[in-house]
């Protein structure tokens, strides 16, 4: 039996996109090597990193000879290749909901530093209100949670909101 390839994640600790991938890797129980890319110092513009990821941003995942440089693509890849602890439900309606939350969450992320992000948050809140359980879209951690947690955490930190969850 062939030995599994070692996953390597090029990541910046505060990047919400990188956080998504780290959360997914940990939920799936996958071991990986963490390679820090300090985007504040411009490490992502280093020619060696550009050879690896021509898009020049984090995260980037290396799995053998496969290199993926986008958090959403990485997580979908992990879902297909490593099916343990699935983040996408089998039910087509619930799966679509989780994918839709990603799109709304991404829209919020693009607007998070502007004053017009309220409509995106309102839409997301309405969508989740109908489907929430213990977690965002039900009673199990799914893709929506993986995408929302880093955004919520970053928002709390940015606006210095002290939130205690009981």
In this prediction, residue 112 carries a pLDDT of: 47
Q: Does the residue 166 lie in any domain?
A: no
Domain limits at 135?
92-158
Q: DSSP states of 13-31 as a string?
A: TT-HHHHHHHHHHHHTT--
At 123, the pLDDT band (50, 70, 90 cuts) reads: confident
What value does the mean pLDDT take over residues 16-28? Answer: 96
Q: Do 66 and 11 share a domain, yes or no?
A: yes
pLDDT exceeds cutoff 80 at 149: yes
76 and 108 part of one domain: no
The answer as to whether 163 is a domain residue is no
Higher confidence at residue 166 or residue 49?
49
According to the model, what pLDDT value does residue 111 have?
46
Indicate if 77 and 97 belong to the same structural domain.
no
Tokens representing 49 are 């990193």
With respect to residue 69, please indicate whether it lies within any of the assigned structural domains. Answer: yes
Do 76 and 97 lie in one domain? The reply is: no
Backbone angles phi, psi at 32, to 5 degrees: -155, 155
Selection from 34, 30, 40 nearest residue 18 by Cα: 34
Of 24-28, 96-100, 134-138, 149-153, the range with the lowest mean pLDDT is: 149-153
User: Cβ(37)–Cβ(10) under 8 Å?
Assistant: yes
Is 100 found in the same domain as 148? yes
pLDDT at 113: 45
In a domain, 164, yes or no: no
| 64 Ramachandran zone, left/alpha/beta (phi>0; psi -120 to 50) | left
Question: Do both 99 and 130 map to the same domain?
Answer: yes
Examine residue 1 and state whether it is found in any structural domain, yes or no. no
**At 12, which CATH number?**
3.40.30.10
State yes or no: pLDDT of 37 exceeds 90: yes
SS3 141: coil
- Which of 54, 81, 108 terminates a domain? The answer is 81
Q: In the chain, how many domains are there? A: 2
On whether residue 15 sits in a domain, the answer given is yes
Q: What is the 8-class DSSP label of residue 68?
A: E
């Amino acid at each position: 039996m062939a030995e599994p390839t070692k996953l390597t994640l090029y990541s910046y600790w505060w990047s919400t996109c990188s956080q998504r991938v780290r959360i997914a890797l940990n939920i799936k129980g996958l071991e990986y090597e963490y390679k820090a890319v300090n985007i504040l110092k411009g490490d992502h513009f280093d020619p060696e990193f550009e050879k690896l990821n021509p898009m020049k941003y984090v995260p980037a995942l290396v799995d053998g000879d496969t290199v993926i440089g986008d958090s959403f693509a990485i997580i979908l890849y992990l879902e297909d290749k490593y099916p343990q602890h699935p983040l996408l439900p089998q039910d087509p309606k619930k799966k679509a909901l989780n994918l839709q939350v990603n799109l709304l969450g991404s829209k919020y992320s693009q607007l998070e530093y502007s004053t017009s992000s309220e409509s995106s948050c309102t839409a997301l809140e309405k969508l989740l209100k109908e489907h929430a359980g213990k977690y965002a879209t039900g009673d199990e951690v799914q893709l929506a949670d993986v995408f929302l947690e880093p955004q919520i955490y970053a928002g709390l930190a940015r606006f210095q909101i002290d939130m205690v969850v009981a």
